[in-house]
Chains A and B, each alone.
Chain A
Amino acid sequence: MDFLNTHLLSLILFFPALSAIVMLFLPKDETRLLRWFAFAASLIPFALSLALWFSFNPTAVGYQFEEKYIWYAAIGSSLHLGVDGLSLTMVLLTTLLTPLAILASFSVTDRVKPYMMLFLFLETGMLGVFMAVDLLIFFVFWEVGLVPMYFLINQWGSANKDYASLKFMIYTMGGSLGLLLGIQLLGALFGTFDLAAITTNWTSAQGFLLGFPISTVKTVIFWAFVIAFAIKVPIWPFHTWLPDAHTEAPTAGSMLLAGVLLKLGAYGFLRLVLPLYPDQAKEFAWALALLATAAIIFGAFAAYGQTDFKRLVAYSSVNHMGFVVLGIAAAALAAGTADARIAMNGAILQMFNHGLSAAGMFFLVGVIYERTHTRNLNEFGGLFPLVPIYGGILIFTSMASLGLPGLNGFVSEFLVVRGSYPILTPYTAISMLGLLFTGAYILKGIRQVLHGPMNEHWTHGEHQLTEINTREIIVMAPLMALILVIGIWPAWILNVINNAVVHLF
């Protein structure tokens, strides 16, 4: 077991990719085999990350399970992995959602092999970002995750996939250009990419750089980083790629996109922006808060205005991620205070929670889309009597998203608001208004799908709507369980998060 203990992170990280390579040699027509293989291959990292969770020492400072391998000695970058409370949560979320997404994709029949392989590669890409303790490795996995997603949207998406996938790609790559340049500059400056070393050197850097005062340079790079992550989160006004990508992506793709990929952006704020640029973050926290508020309000309004069910859910992501950013802004402004920590805890938990509920919501949209081949809200209506179980699950998940007390969304949003209020009073106040609209659009969605006059189209004949099947329930079950558990007893996860927050900020 020694090997397992010392290589736990790299095992979790590379197992999906290696399985994908093994899949390459499986026959492409054996769809059942391929599906189960992929599912099994994604369960193992989940099991391992559970082991990781339980052997994690929440009270210890700094990174745990650190591993370091020579990778690119020439420029001072090494494959340096490690997790703290923050990344551990995200790793767990990723390894949980991937098997569910794969399970959700069992209905895919077109080119199963590359589809499943892309998912596994995607998982490795996402996990790598969360585990990286080296700036370059961070960037490597950041970009690596992009490619499978691009092809998932481009190949298995719906009608407007070409436009959406290219937009996704160009936005994200365009955003990461600044990040790349920033990382290059830091690397060129210090000759290493190790996060700890760079943080120490960079925050204490003085004098002139490239002929400018260092503070100017820092501000510029700060914004380069912020824009890269803001696009990924996405923060208004950089969010326009998201509804397109979500709408066109296959169901499981949307699940991971909303569940994990968006978190990469927020994680970037927490892992890189705040530690590397505390001063700039403080200076520009108001701007972040402003954008976050805008995201919350406009996201909610936009969601309300949608007639496409999936777009509605997509805009709700903008809305929900706004709270994450709000928490981050508050924490940046008042770093070190108790309020800041509360906001930060809320933001991180919100990331986790949104991962659960957004994945669930997208999956549920997918379930109904597979049966009706439409996502137009006006074409549904009164479906509850037809599909009561589905209806129940949908309502449950929506409530979590809405922030109903007792479910997880409430806990995190409350923490964010509670923490931010003393720090960013006006912004938080306006954002709380946004919560109201959140309720509005979610209820609108539920009403148009489940309630109201029944659309006779779905009651009989070939269009008869069928109930959610066992596999799909199995996909939803863990999500719902976690939603409920965190809603009722959040301490088990907050403990881990809080410890990281205390040490980090």
Chain B
Amino acid sequence: MTFPVLSVIVFTPLTAALIILMIPAQRKTEARGVALAAATFALLLSLWVYIQYLTQHLTGYQFVEKYDWLPMLGISLHFGVDGISAPLVLLTGVVMFTGVLISWGDNNPHVMAGIQDRPREFFAFLFILASGVFGVFASLDLFMLFFFYEIAVFPMYLLIVIWGWIQTREYAAMKLTLYLFIGSVVALVGALAMYWVAGRNTGVYTFDMLQLEKAGFSASFQNLWFLPVFFGFAVLGGIWPFHNWSPDGHVAAPTAVSMFHAGVLMKLGAFAALRVGIMLLPEGAKHWSWVIMLCAGVAVVYGAFIAFVQTDLKYMIGFSSVSHMGLVMLGLSTLDKNGLTGAGVQMFSHGVMTALFFAVTGMIYDRSHTRQIPELGGMNKVMPFAAIGFIIGGLVSMGMPGFSGFIAEFPIFLGVWQSQWLVAVIASISIIITAAYIMMNIRKVFFGKMPEKLEGHMTDVTVLDKVAITTLCVLMIGIGIFPSVMVPMVQTGVQHILTLLGGA
């Protein structure tokens, strides 16, 4: 029997969460230690899965495990990763690891960075969320996918409400939870409809997605249900016009949660929209792809413009995420090889990039207690390491060649050219807007003169912060210079989707 690596990955955070809860509340360092150990373990395992997939040139669903869960309804605990989800599993591992590192914080009473209030509960909730995320990426069963999807969503509420930014946390947390919940239940209805119709068509009632792929849904059925299912999930992906929760949520969330939120959770939406929407309802996808393209195109440009005018650093990043996730959706909407490949890589690239952004923003905020760009300046002097990290993130965000953002965005645009050239032209405006606001804000925040009231209050980031920043940067540069460490793998996943779409 092979080592059930995926279920170990999925349940490691959950187990760790339980262990952490058992630790007495005062022993904060132990709680953090357990968290870090678990995160490292999960990261190593997900890295192992990734490397295995890559080096053995695997294709299709691998590391498959299947346990009957509710055979009567055809629900099984069915795990497996393909070329699209394996990078996302790795991404989750990375974000989890770095999220723990930067939440460790600095107990210096002048700094109080990271999570100092009830770290035990914080890590426990965060890890429950992480388990949910791993579960979604690894699930090949529609029911289990929903199951983990909801698990990934609800801890957000608590994480934001308890440890979030005091001014908006109540509002933002509730808004976020309700948006996501509405989206997911709408998609759930679609999924249940699929279940019944597939059962009637084939005589086998099952939630197994591999079987649902072959269920032969009629075109009218697909056309009817594609939009609810796709948009239901895409809400979490921050698709315009349902993106409103996302910047608010980013801003209100504590640093590590913002990292998870923008880095991983938004991918969850896009991924589920792909896996359930496009892969199970390919005809519907073809029929409606123009709607998605339209919404995504608007998101890309509109998000960039809104980000441009923000004065709050986190809002800026939040809206830039809307814009970048728009690119993912744009890639998905092309339904062709390049676009889908780009979307797959962009999910990873954006995840790492935005995690880095939020990490650095958090480090700044913890020390300066403001995120207003006009009130910041000269951070480069006290935290040069963080500045370099942020700049690299900025370059990725601009789609600068040599970094992962370019590797991801280029094929997306190639794909869009092939289906709707005008959208490509319009969407490309965002590149220049992004460059403008990223460069402007980097200059304002990190260079220039430090405002007087911050003088002397600022300290450099901790060693753990540096480890986190380095990890994230290495990934972005690595993929940027050597795209073949990820792209061929994503392509194997895309190939399967293309088969479902009836194309090449």
B291 interfacial by beta-carbon distance below 8 Å? no
Q: Is there an interface contact between B341 and A74, defined as CB atoms closer than 8 Å?
A: yes
Closest to B400 in A: A143
Inside 8 A of B428's CB, which chain A residues have their CB? 177, 180-181
B395 interfacial by beta-carbon distance below 8 Å? yes
Q: Is there an interface contact between A185 and B338, defined as CB atoms closer than 8 Å?
A: no
Q: List 8 A-B contacts (CB under 8 A).
A: A162-B448, A166-B439, A166-B443, A177-B432, A184-B413, A184-B417, A188-B417, A188-B418
Interface string of B407-450 (1 = CB under 8 A from A): 10011011101100100110011011001100110010001100
Question: How distant is the Cα of A185 from the Cα of B398 in the complex, in angstroms?
Answer: 20
Q: Is there an interface contact between B401 and A141, defined as CB atoms closer than 8 Å?
A: yes
A420 interfacial by beta-carbon distance below 8 Å? no
A150 interfacial by beta-carbon distance below 8 Å? yes
Q: Which range contains the number of A residues in contact with the other chain?
A: 20 to 34
Inside 8 A of A136's CB, which chain B residues have their CB? 410
Q: Is there an interface contact between B424 and A144, defined as CB atoms closer than 8 Å?
A: no
Inside 8 A of A174's CB, which chain B residues have their CB? 432
Question: How distant is the Cα of A139 from the Cα of B400 in the complex, in angstroms?
Answer: 10
Pick from A35-43, A65-73, A470-478 the stretch touching chain B.
A65-73
Q: Is there an interface contact between B338 and A154, defined as CB atoms closer than 8 Å?
A: no
B387 to chain A, nearest CB (A): 10
Closest to B442 in A: A154
B201 interfacial by beta-carbon distance below 8 Å? no
B199 interfacial by beta-carbon distance below 8 Å? no
Q: Is there an interface contact between A144 and B400, defined as CB atoms closer than 8 Å?
A: yes
B190 to chain A, nearest CB (A): 32
- Which residues of B383-410 have CB atoms within 8 Å of chain A's CB atoms? 395, 398, 400-402, 406-407, 410
B478 interfacial by beta-carbon distance below 8 Å? no
Inside 8 A of A73's CB, which chain B residues have their CB? 484, 487-488
B491 interfacial by beta-carbon distance below 8 Å? yes
Q: Closest 3 A-B residue pairs measured CB to CB? A: A140-B401, A188-B417, A74-B487
A393 interfacial by beta-carbon distance below 8 Å? no
Interface contacts beyond A74-B338, A169-B435, A188-B338: sample of 10 additional A-B pairs, CB < 8 Å, sorted by A: A74-B411, A74-B488, A75-B414, A139-B401, A141-B401, A144-B400, A147-B400, A155-B447, A169-B439, A184-B424
Q: How many residues from B make CB contacts under 8 Å with A?
A: 37
A210 interfacial by beta-carbon distance below 8 Å? yes
B483 interfacial by beta-carbon distance below 8 Å? yes
Q: Is there an interface contact between B401 and A184, defined as CB atoms closer than 8 Å?
A: no
Inside 8 A of A162's CB, which chain B residues have their CB? 443, 448
Inside 8 A of B417's CB, which chain A residues have their CB? 184-185, 188
Question: How distant is the Cα of A188 from the Cα of B338 in the complex, in angstroms?
Answer: 9
| A71 and B484 contact, Cβ closer than 8 Å, known pairs A173-B431, A180-B431 | yes
- Which residues of B205-253 have CB atoms within 8 Å of chain A's CB atoms? none
Q: Is there an interface contact between B421 and A185, defined as CB atoms closer than 8 Å?
A: yes
Closest to A210 in B: B421
Question: How distant is the Cα of A141 from the Cα of B177 in the complex, in angstroms?
Answer: 44
Q: Is there an interface contact between A71 and B483, defined as CB atoms closer than 8 Å?
A: yes
Inside 8 A of A159's CB, which chain B residues have their CB? none
B494 to chain A, nearest CB (A): 9
Question: How distant is the Cα of A139 from the Cα of B431 in the complex, in angstroms?
Answer: 15
- Which residues of B315-357 have CB atoms within 8 Å of chain A's CB atoms? 338, 341
Inside 8 A of B424's CB, which chain A residues have their CB? 181, 184
Q: Residues on B close to A: CB < 8 A?
A: 338, 341, 395, 398, 400-402, 406-407, 410-411, 413-415, 417-418, 421, 424-425, 428-429, 431-432, 435-436, 439-440, 443, 447-448, 482-484, 487-488, 490-491
A170 interfacial by beta-carbon distance below 8 Å? yes
Residue of B338, B395, B448 with highest tally of chain A CB at under 10 A: B338
Inside 8 A of A490's CB, which chain B residues have their CB? none
Which of A150, A170, A173, A184 is close to B414, meaning CB atoms less than 8 Å apart?
A184
Which of B341, B411, B414, B443 is close to A154, meaning CB atoms less than 8 Å apart?
B443
Q: Is there an interface contact between A166 and B440, defined as CB atoms closer than 8 Å?
A: yes
A340 to chain B, nearest CB (A): 34
B408 to chain A, nearest CB (A): 11
Closest to B345 in A: A74
- Which residues of A63-110 have CB atoms within 8 Å of chain B's CB atoms? 70-75
Inside 8 A of B421's CB, which chain A residues have their CB? 185, 210
Inside 8 A of A439's CB, which chain B residues have their CB? none
Closest to A150 in B: B439
A187 interfacial by beta-carbon distance below 8 Å? yes
Question: How distant is the Cα of A143 from the Cα of B410 in the complex, in angstroms?
Answer: 13
Q: Is there an interface contact between B431 and A72, defined as CB atoms closer than 8 Å?
A: no
Inside 8 A of A181's CB, which chain B residues have their CB? 413, 424-425, 428
Q: Is there an interface contact between A72 and B487, defined as CB atoms closer than 8 Å?
A: yes
A105 to chain B, nearest CB (A): 19
Question: How distant is the Cα of A144 from the Cα of B436 in the complex, in angstroms?
Answer: 16
Inside 8 A of A166's CB, which chain B residues have their CB? 436, 439-440, 443
Question: How distant is the Cα of A150 from the Cα of B431 in the complex, in angstroms?
Answer: 17
Question: How distant is the Cα of A165 from the Cα of B406 in the complex, in angstroms?
Answer: 22
Q: Is there an interface contact between A154 and B447, defined as CB atoms closer than 8 Å?
A: yes
Closest to B483 in A: A72
Question: How distant is the Cα of A211 from the Cα of B308 in the complex, in angstroms?
Answer: 34
Q: Is there an interface contact between B414 and A187, defined as CB atoms closer than 8 Å?
A: yes
Interface string of A471-494 (1 = CB under 8 A from B): 000000000000000000000000
Inside 8 A of B490's CB, which chain A residues have their CB? 74
| A74 and B491 contact, Cβ closer than 8 Å, known pairs A166-B439, A185-B421 | yes
Question: How distant is the Cα of A155 from the Cα of B439 in the complex, in angstroms?
Answer: 12
Q: Is there an interface contact between A140 and B395, defined as CB atoms closer than 8 Å?
A: no
Question: How distant is the Cα of A496 from the Cα of B395 in the complex, in angstroms?
Answer: 38
Q: Is there an interface contact between A173 and B432, defined as CB atoms closer than 8 Å?
A: yes
Question: How distant is the Cα of A170 from the Cα of B398 in the complex, in angstroms?
Answer: 12
Question: How distant is the Cα of A55 from the Cα of B398 in the complex, in angstroms?
Answer: 40
